[in-house]
Amino acid sequence: MAYLKRKQKLDLSGGVQTRTVNPLSMDSQVKHALNAEFSSKLGAITGRMGSLVQSTVVASQRILTLLQWIKSDGTLKYFASASDGAGGGADKVDLYINSAVFAGTWAKSLEDLTNLIDVFGVNFANMLIACNGVEAVKGYNGSSWSAITNAPVAGKFPEVYQQRLFLLSEGGFLHYSDVINSTGDGFTTTTWLNRGINPNDGQKCKMLKRHRNRLVIFKEESIYRYDGANEAEAVITVGTHSSKSVVLLNDLFFHHPTGIYRMGVGEPVMISRAVQKYLDGMSSSNWSQVAAGRDLENVYFWIGDVTISDPLEHDYGKTYSDVVLVYNVYAQTWTVFSGWNARSWFYDETSGLTYFGTAAGKVVKINTAYADVDGATTLPIAFEVVFTPENYGYPEKYKEFGNVDVIGQYNSDILVAEDYDRLVSKDALNQKRAGGSPTCKELWVGVAEEYSDRPPRIEGLILDNVNLLDDAN
């Protein structure tokens, strides 16, 4: 029998790590975190901020996209595309307008577009250019819509590059206008040209983004880069199945069925291994529906409901609702949120605020207060943290654990048990300091509580008075 050295885990900045076996996980990483974040106080784990419903566009109708018109003098108007809810197979998509930063009353602005086709937009020449690849491309000038002369109807994904408007079709053609005119309110001529991006190769084009002085063209299983002169070739053999999964925060981030990738100047790199079990547990039907957003330092990926499918995972068979995987681009750490039905996102560069649209037709602002609020309804946030199980480097031997302390500011008791099943069933429920904890080969410690105002914060784990038992025990 021998006493083991006191252990302190006082740096919890490593985020969630579900990929590695317990002995290889770093002390700064945790086995599980739900509705928790690692960036507001470095080294600690804090309950995530809440959300606030701003308005309802069309009740019970999924918001497809959120857009903004911005004039050079700073005038702003906001748009949301959604089904009109007519029902009976007669639904159409309407574009609704709002002048109150998503919070006011919505009115129809552009009606009867093809149902359930996303409307994408970009600001150019004092107009919001809106297109869906089916109807005529239109521009909004602050008071009315008008068709863009000679713009290709098939153009679906708009981008501005080298003083021209580019439109990418799903079929693989990159169309481009003449340069902007000297007054900055239209094109020099109405002539449009195009070039093929390996059209009819069996892959749909999914998104067009300007990044690092190039256009980046996403297909389902390939990515092309175009600088205005080069012959674009698919040197990258990974892409995206969801147009709304591509988000820009210094680098480009996107979802592919194999994982979530980050792309700077070079090749895309998969960054999601730490949370791969959630991606493996999502429905393949959601691959085309993944929606990505951003704020000042995080990228968010809504992947839908997730059921953990690996029988060797501690939470095998558990279902998490409306999972949003969150990656902090500076700390390069992952965490997991639930309860946000974020079917489309919008980052407002004029205010630094982030919004998402739901399947119920609502626009929601995130990072506000500490509950999920919808009018008179306040939903507490369910916070969970499970530390990496501790065996002190003796996985084969039993240990008698003395004192277990979870440091921080929180209201719940801590959970201490010899395995996950006993932990979540609360068979071993203790105060913030647990004495006389189980005799076991490895110790599981967790914290779980719901909050609606003051978020919990976990700052460390201390294990003391641990006794390594003889083999006979």
Task: State mean pLDDT over 195-208.
Answer: 95
Look at residue 315 and tell me if it is in a domain.
no
- pTM check: above 0.85: yes
Look at residue 422 and tell me if it is in a domain.
yes
In percent, the amount of the chain with pLDDT more than 90 equals 84
Look at residue 185 and tell me if it is in a domain.
no
Tens-digit pLDDT profile for residues 225-269: 999 988 888 778 999 999 999 999 999 999 999 999 999 989 999
Q: How confident is the model at residue 295 (pLDDT cuts 50, 70, 90)?
A: very high
pLDDT of 217 strictly over 90: yes
Task: State mean pLDDT over 258-283.
Answer: 97
Predicted local confidence at residue 61, as pLDDT: 94
Q: Measure Cα distances from 39 to 2, 44, 283, 347, 456 in Å.
A: 38, 8, 29, 19, 14
Predicted local confidence at residue 352, as pLDDT: 95
Look at residue 215 and tell me if it is in a domain.
no
- Domain span at 20: 2-32+384-468
Predicted local confidence at residue 429, as pLDDT: 44
Q: How confident is the model at residue 435 (pLDDT cuts 50, 70, 90)?
A: low
Task: State mean pLDDT over 8-32.
Answer: 94
Look at residue 446 and tell me if it is in a domain.
yes
Locate 413 and state its tokens: 């008791």
Tens-digit pLDDT profile for residues 131-178: 999 999 999 999 999 999 999 999 999 999 999 999 999 999 999 999
Q: Label residues 188-208 b or e (16+ Cβ within 10 Å = b).
A: eeeebebeebbeeeebbbbbb
Look at residue 124 and tell me if it is in a domain.
no
Look at residue 196 and tell me if it is in a domain.
no
Tens-digit pLDDT profile for residues 104-129: 899 999 999 998 899 999 999 999 99
**Average model confidence (pLDDT) across the chain:** 93
How many domains does one find in the chain?
Answer: 1
pLDDT of 224 strictly over 60: yes
Look at residue 425 and tell me if it is in a domain.
yes
